[in-house]
Amino acid sequence: MKTMVSGCSLFEPKQSIKLTLFPNPNLGNFNALIELDAPADIQIRIYNGEALPVYGAEFKSVEVLSHNIDLRGSIPGIYTMIVQSDAGRRSASFVIE
């Protein structure tokens, strides 16, 4: 026998992370705008096209963060930024020319 309950969840919805990178493409110097629903600790990681880490940073109790990243001198190509918190994860790709 199955019992169904409507409007009830065993899990709280995860917090959303909004990630905007600009300019894209860029020459290695760009900005990341990170917005969360509520303050949380976050980690930023950037990987090159060979999936090797090229940048990492951690921030405490972030709700909105505008962060400049300087990767000038990096090899041109497609890179991936991952922003992670206990509440979730968001990724975005960008191009260094």
Q: What pLDDT is stored for residue 15 in this prediction?
A: 67
Q: Which residue has the higher pLDDT, 12 or 75?
A: 75
Q: What pLDDT is stored for residue 9 in this prediction?
A: 47
CA 58, CA 44: separation in Å to the nearest integer?
Answer: 6
Q: Of the candidates 17, 32, 15, which has an alpha carbon nearest to the alpha carbon of residue 79? A: 32
Q: Which CATH architecture has domain 17-96?
A: Sandwich (2.60)
- How far is the CA of 3 from the CAs of 6, 20, 97, in angstroms? 10, 43, 57
User: Is the C-alpha dihedral spanning 66, 72, 78, 81 positive or negative?
Assistant: negative
10 Å Cβ neighbour count for 11? Answer: 5
Q: Is the per-residue pLDDT at 5 higher than 50?
A: no
Q: What pLDDT is stored for residue 86 in this prediction?
A: 87
Q: What is the DSSP letter of 72?
A: T
Q: What is the DSSP letter of 23?
A: S
How much is the pTM?
0.84
What's the average model confidence in pLDDT over 14-21? 87
Q: Which residue has the higher pLDDT, 9 or 41?
A: 41
pLDDT tens digits, one per residue of 57-73: 999 999 999 999 999 99
Q: What pLDDT is stored for residue 87 in this prediction?
A: 77
Q: What is the domain partition of the chain in residue ranges? A: 17-96
